[in-house]
Amino acid sequence: MGSTEAQREASSGRRKPKEPTPAAFPPEARAMREQGKRTMQRLRDAAMVAFERRGYHATRVNDIVEIAKTSHGTFYLYFSNKEDLLRALLVEATEETREIDKVLSDAPTGTGRDDLRAWVGAYSSLWMRYAPLLGIWTELTGSDPEVTQLLSDSLRKMTAALAGWIEVNGAPDDVDPSVAAVAVVAMLDRFHQLQTFLGGPVDGGTLDELAAIVQRAVLGSPARPPGTRPAGDRLAEPAPASSAR
């Protein structure tokens, strides 16, 4: 029976060459790599601004390079087209979503309140960072099957991690953890949209309140003593009511 390539290499004493580490490159090459990363990030940031202003389908490569203050040649050095840049943004967001999921999936049982608050804060940071994409995600799902798959996989993993937290932290019998998880994510998404539109803050106190609402809703247990509220109004200042008198 013939040996595999790996076995032949092992028997001959040869080893597969290692991938070069960043330190293996000369300083000039390392500087170019870092400059390339910054340029790619500038293009990604510019794309999100353009998507928010014009919508994904109306955005042109020219809009992106103008916002990034770079050239078409530089754009095509890193991305083949607008769709390629969009996928890069979604991959970046998906990787950050995995870190958020770990907040709950790696949490020990019985530490629910603190872990939920950490998760809500992490979700909020992700939403604020990728708001231009999240605001048009329904538009994106009809543009590319690969994009649709990335978005749906990310949302499924996020809701699965939250459903697991709800289940291990004592959801009542009449609460389906999977349904509750989808409802919570939908609520948080819509809350951030409306609060941003109304000009209200999304700060630490607001996130404390959101975590308390989620805990009471899905576990049926108060997150703080009844009758107490955090200091300060965390919602947008309402417009003064007009008087008919």
Distance CA 189, CA 198 (A): 14
Per-residue pLDDT tens, the chain, 245 aa: give them: 444 444 444 444 444 444 444 444 444 444 557 888 899 999 999 999 998 888 888 999 999 999 999 999 999 999 999 988 988 888 888 888 888 888 877 766 555 678 889 999 999 998 988 887 776 666 666 667 777 788 888 889 899 989 988 888 888 888 899 999 999 999 999 999 899 889 998 999 999 999 999 988 888 765 444 344 444 444 444 444 444 43
Q: Where are the domains of the chain?
A: 23-79, 82-219
- CATH for 82-219 is 1.10.357.10
Distance CA 165, CA 161 (A): 6
Tell me which of 1.20.120, 3.30.1540, 1.10.287, 1.10.10 is the CATH number of domain 23-79: 1.10.10
- For residue 32, what pLDDT is reported? 57
Tokens read off for 13: 């004493």
Question: What is residue 223's DSSP assignment?
Answer: S
Distance CA 189, CA 133 (A): 12
